[in-house]
Every structure is written in C-alpha cells, then in structure tokens.
Amino acid sequence: MENKNCNTLYDLYVVLCHFRPSSIGGHFIVYARNALNDKCYCYNDSSVTLFKEKSYLTDVPYILFYQEIVV
C-alpha cells in the first residue's frame, strides 16, 4: 500500500477475520506473517497451520494490521 501524499509504504502483516456477524458472538480466525521466518500462518482456535495462498481474501476481513516499511 502506498500513500500518494508522502510516499510512505506499508506492508499488510495480519488479517483478522470475523464470522457470524454479531457484536456478542461469532468466530475469529487470524492470518499472520511470522517476522522471524517470513511465512504466513492461519490461527484458528487451537490449530495453527501454514498457508501459502492468500485464502483470507475469500474470508470476511474485520481488522487489518499494517506496518510501515522503512527504506
């Protein structure tokens, strides 16, 4: 992602998805990139699985986490 006003670059590193839209219930799944090995994982309750494709694009994003890229 690039901000055209100041040329700051951002990298998406966490996608939090929420299922069953309700403020008091539902299910969360987190897709996150591990900074130590640069691999992406899916965190779903008690399971953690490695994933290679951007499967979160078919889920319902709830919160996106970005970090600034320092060049």
| Domain ranges within the chain, ordered by starting residue | 11-69
Measured between alpha carbons, how far is 69 from 45 in angstroms, rounded to an integer?
30
- Percent of the chain having pLDDT more than 90? 21
42-46, 48-52, 58-62: the lowest-pLDDT one: 58-62
Q: 59 - beta bridge partners?
A: none
Average pLDDT over residues 25-39: 87
Q: Encode pLDDT of 15-24 as tens digits.
A: 998 877 666 7
Question: Quick one: which of 68, 49, 50 has its CA closest to 10?
Answer: 68
Q: What is the CA radius of gyration of the chain?
A: 14
- pLDDT for 53 equals 67
C-alpha to C-alpha distances, 15 to 7, 28, 67, 71, nearest whole angstrom = 23, 10, 12, 24
- Is 0.75 topped by the overall pTM? no
